[in-house]
């Protein structure tokens, strides 16, 4: 992930128990610690497998879209834009008490010399630390609880979005909250008023679910066919860092046109319309991860996805219904 360079930042406190937002009137003071903290969270958000591309709905009146577009046209309004955004979100929170209180960091930054606006919603967490009570007859160390702390530099935030200031593209990570007795993705459905494509996490979930359904229905979970499918996916990722749905279905299900058709239709019905599925590097790693194989005797093999081929690991169906596993070209064996 390319480094991000923060040009401006500001922090607003959105605590529903206070009864009003505590808004900063000036930008956050610049410091190496703050830039490192916000920069790491921005990079982690952009790499998050749950982030998704979104588009604003065109048929809805949208005050938040107006605030963001106003800033796109005049980036000199950074402080006033951030305050308007925070006020709007706080008003929504007060009407919907299930939305978690948070600190809201609004950050202008550049990546690959391209300008972006990041909005990081640091939902409050309960944490514990120690406290020393100095008394005349000695110290008493005790554990105390803090009710209003935020994610540390190594944790993922639950909610946030990034706006490309040149193209207007919106990337969003969100969580559900109960609104009018129904748990919904409130940021996209009620606040930003946008519609999103499946995230990388959702894409992989759709593909894995379809794999299981088609393999069970058409191949009775045949082990070799399951391995063929995983190998085809791993090869796709290794060659192009993408999953070519058409290529995978034709290669794996070439003996069964009905399975090919059902595989494509099932994926599309679940909202994955692209024939070429692009995945972020961290999600691609999950496709390439080791396959765990366990025999009925309890023997376990962990095979990297790229080696699920007939050159290194070969699965042979015996005539009596059993399977033979051959491991080839071994240079050394370690006993762990």
Digit-coded pLDDT (tens) for 317-328? 787 878 888 888
Residue 299 has pLDDT above 80, yes or no: yes
Residue 280 has pLDDT above 70, yes or no: yes
Q: What is the four-CA torsion angle of 44, 50, 53, 57, rounded to 10 degrees?
A: -120
Task: For residue 265, give the H/E element and its range.
Answer: helix 257-269
pLDDT computed for residue 308 by the predictor: 67
Q: Kindly state the average pLDDT of the residues 204-231.
A: 88
Q: Which of 90, 84, 59 is nearest to 69 (CA)?
A: 84
Q: Which of 333, 278, 288, 323 is nearest to 308 (CA)?
A: 288
Place of tokens 């919904």: 184
**Phi-psi bin for 300: left (phi > 0), alpha (psi -120 to 50), beta?**
beta
Mean pLDDT rounded to a whole number for the chain: 89
Residue 281 has pLDDT above 90, yes or no: no
pLDDT computed for residue 305 by the predictor: 67
Domain definitions of the chain by residue range:
5-197, 201-327
Residue 278 has pLDDT above 90, yes or no: no
pLDDT computed for residue 316 by the predictor: 80
% of the chain exceeding 70 in pLDDT: 97
| pLDDT band at 69; cut points 50, 70, 90 | very high
DSSP-derived 3-state class of residue 194: strand
| pLDDT band at 36; cut points 50, 70, 90 | very high
Q: Give the whole-angstrom CA distance, residue 295 versus residue 292.
A: 10
Q: Are strands 159-164 and 170-173 parallel, antiparallel or unpaired?
A: antiparallel
% of the chain exceeding 90 in pLDDT: 55
Beta bridge partners of 118: 107, 162
Q: Kindly state the average pLDDT of the residues 10-34.
A: 95
* Furthest CA-CA distance within the chain: 85
Place of tokens 């605030």: 67
Q: Which of 225, 201, 231 is nearest to 291 (CA)?
A: 231
Q: Kindly state the average pLDDT of the residues 183-212.
A: 92
Residue 200 has pLDDT above 90, yes or no: no
DSSP-derived 3-state class of residue 322: coil
Opening angle at CA 163, ends 27 and 118, nearest 5: 35
Q: How far is CA 64 from the centre of its chain?
A: 23
Q: Give the whole-angstrom CA distance, residue 109 versus residue 102.
A: 21
Q: Kindly state the average pLDDT of the residues 254-282.
A: 87
pLDDT tens per residue, range 1-14? 678 999 999 999 99
Q: Are strands 313-317 and 323-327 parallel, antiparallel or unpaired?
A: antiparallel
Q: What is the pTM of this model?
A: 0.79
pLDDT computed for residue 1 by the predictor: 65
Q: Which of 87-96, 229-238, 289-298 has the lowest mean pLDDT?
A: 289-298
Q: Give the relative orientation of helices 223-240 and 200-219 as an angle to the nearest 10 degrees.
A: 150
| pLDDT band at 223; cut points 50, 70, 90 | confident
């Amino acid at each position: 992930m390319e480094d991000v360079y923060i040009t401006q930042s500001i922090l607003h406190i959105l605590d529903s128990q206070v009864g009003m937002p505590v808004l900063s009137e000036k930008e956050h003071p610049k410091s190496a610690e703050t830039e490192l903290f916000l920069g790491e969270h921005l990079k982690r958000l952009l790499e998050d497998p749950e982030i998704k591309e979104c588009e604003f709905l065109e048929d809805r009146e949208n005050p938040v879209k107006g605030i963001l577009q106003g800033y796109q046209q005049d980036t000199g309004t950074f402080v006033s834009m951030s305050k308007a955004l925070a006020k709007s979100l706080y008003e929504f929170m007060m009407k919907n008490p299930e939305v978690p209180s948070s600190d809201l960091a609004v950050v202008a930054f550049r990546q690959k010399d391209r300008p972006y606006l990041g909005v990081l919603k640091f939902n409050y967490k309960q944490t514990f630390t120690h406290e020393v009570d100095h008394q005349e007859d000695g110290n008493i160390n005790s554990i105390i609880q803090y009710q209003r702390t935020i994610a540390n530099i190594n944790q993922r935030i639950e909610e946030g979005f990034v706006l490309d200031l040149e193209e207007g593209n919106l990337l969003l990570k969100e969580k559900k909250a109960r609104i009018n007795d129904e748990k919904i993705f409130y940021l996209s459905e009620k606040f930003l008023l946008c519609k999103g494509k499946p995230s990388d996490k959702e894409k992989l979930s759709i593909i894995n679910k379809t794999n299981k359904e088609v393999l069970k229905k058409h191949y009775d979970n045949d082990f070799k066919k399951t391995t063929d499918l995983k190998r085809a996916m791993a090869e796709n990722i290794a060659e192009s860092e993408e999953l070519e749905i058409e290529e995978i279905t034709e290669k794996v299900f070439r003996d069964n046109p009905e399975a090919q058709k059902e595989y494509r239709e099932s994926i599309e019905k679940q909202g994955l319309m692209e024939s070429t599925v692009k995945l972020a590097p961290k999600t691609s790693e999950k496709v390439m991860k080791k396959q765990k194989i366990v025999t009925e005797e309890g023997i376990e093999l962990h095979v990297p996805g790229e080696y699920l081929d007939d050159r290194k690991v070969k699965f042979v169906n015996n005539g009596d219904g059993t399977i033979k596993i051959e491991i080839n070209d071994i240079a050394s064996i370690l006993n762990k």
